[in-house]
Amino acid sequence: MKLTAKIKLLPTSEQAQNLLDTLVRANQACHALSEIAWENKQFKQFGLHKLAYYPIKEQFGLSAQMIVRCIAKVVDAYKLDKKSKREFRPTGAIAYDSRIISYKPAKNTVSIWTLTGRVAIPYIGGEHNEALLKFQQGESDLFYRKGKWFLLATCDVPDEQTSEIDSILGVDLGIVDLATDSDGQRFTGSEIRKYRKKRASIRASVQAKKNAKASKSTIKNTRRLLKRISKRERTTSTIINHTISKRLVEKAQSSNRGIALENLKGIRDRTVPRLRKKQRREHSSWPFYQLRQFITYKAQLNGVPVMVIPPAYTSKTCHECNHLGHRSGKSFTCTNCGNCTDADHNGALNIAAVGASVTWPENSTLICFLHRS
């Protein structure tokens, strides 16, 4: 499974200058390469290499491998179309491969090629990224933003030998309770709701000021505040997603269960229209994709099998009798058997049942469920 680790470099001021010089020089080389490609109508890796490698090496003093990366960047840029000459930002991101970068996760340092040779630079990434880095493989993008340095590293996480499982833990993702499992446990994000409410009210106030033609500086200040809040909100939602996914995976692992999740498309399709406008604003932009990604990779790291269930019917079907019922807000009512229950818990039970029917088809009466969707 390919995942990307994002780490922040902590260079000394001398190293930072060195990185900047290297990035600028590499982009200048890309610029020159683009010119050669454009003039000669040569947009293929091999052809451009043959044409430009030596002159560029001489002119820019980059390592052989760095020039190969620059040629790849230029060729990539022309892949979209060849109708206009490509230009490159002076500090655009540059890809490093294993010949010009290596990670030392035990020491939290990275050894990276620069104009003055290899330098060892410390980094931080947090628990998630540092765990991923053990599986770093292939390219890393060095990028620079607002005086700070980052690496985006491609990691190939091996599928751990999956353990024997006895049953399935179904997980329903929804925007009122972020996750509900088939045991009936709910995972909510009350903290994030507070942020969302605050942000919604600030956004409304920006709009009001705009309508009332407030001074430009007032609007600017409010905008800045809004930006700061959404950044903090993103950090908080990432932490919440880590916590929820960790707890779910630990629960499944300790009880010999696999995890069944609903295909994400379901969340927006079925939950959004049900909620009132105000509620929708507070919850609908939750990073569910990230939550599912966290559950999947943590499960894989721990040998817990994960399966994805198509969403059709899981929320509308009664878990007790398999008839279609009514879902209204958080409650589910079955017109057939009278079952009345929490809608997300009912959904999670259905997801678990479909997951079990996929895992042990010989014991299942539910397999038709999958074909209906």
Task: Please say which residue, 120 or 340, places its beta carbon nearer to Zn ion.
Answer: 340
Question: CB under 5 A: which stretch of 10-18, 41-49, 157-165, 326-334 binds Zn ion?
Answer: 326-334
Tell me how far apart the terminal alpha carbons of the chain are, to the nearest angstrom. 27
Q: Site for Zn ion (CB under 5 A): which residue of 336, 340, 360, 373? A: 336
Reduce the DSSP state of residue 286 to 3 states and report it.
coil
Decide if residue 272 touches Zn ion (CB under 5 A). Answer: no
Q: Site for Zn ion (CB under 5 A): which residue of 71, 192, 249, 318? A: 318
24 strand-pairing partners = none
Task: Please say which residue, 238 or 333, places its beta carbon nearer to Zn ion.
Answer: 333
Query: What does the angle CA 361 – CA 160 – CA 370 come to, to the nearest 5 degrees?
Result: 25
Biggest alpha carbon distance in the chain?
A: 80
Task: Please say which residue, 258 or 325, places its beta carbon nearer to Zn ion.
Answer: 325
Q: Closest separation between CB of residue 134 and Zn ion, Å?
A: 48
Decide if residue 337 touches Zn ion (CB under 5 A). Answer: yes
Task: Please say which residue, 90 or 338, places its beta carbon nearer to Zn ion.
Answer: 338
Q: Closest separation between CB of residue 286 and Zn ion, Å?
A: 30
What is residue 269's DSSP assignment? I
Tell me if 62 sits within 8 A of 25, measured CB to CB: yes
Structure tokens at 350: 């259905």
Structure tokens at 299: 């499960």
Structure tokens at 140: 């890393």
Question: CB under 5 A: which stretch of 75-83, 90-98, 308-316, 333-341 binds Zn ion?
Answer: 333-341
Decide if residue 373 touches Zn ion (CB under 5 A). Answer: no
Q: Closest separation between CB of residue 369 and Zn ion, Å?
A: 14
Q: Site for Zn ion (CB under 5 A): which residue of 28, 65, 284, 339? A: 339
Structure tokens at 209: 């000021």
**H-assigned helices in the chain:** 13-40, 45-60, 64-77, 126-133, 190-211, 216-254, 265-266, 277-283, 288-301, 343-359, 368-372
Compute the distance between CA of residue 108 and CA of residue 83 in angstroms, rounded to an integer.
Answer: 44
Question: CB under 5 A: which stretch of 42-50, 54-62, 195-203, 330-338 binds Zn ion?
Answer: 330-338
Decide if residue 334 touches Zn ion (CB under 5 A). Answer: yes
Tell me, by CB under 5 A, how many residues bind Zn ion: 7
Structure tokens at 278: 């105000």
Q: Site for Zn ion (CB under 5 A): which residue of 275, 320, 342, 370? A: 320
Q: Closest separation between CB of residue 338 and Zn ion, Å?
A: 7
Contact residues toward Zn ion (CB under 5 A) are: 318, 320-321, 334, 336-337, 339
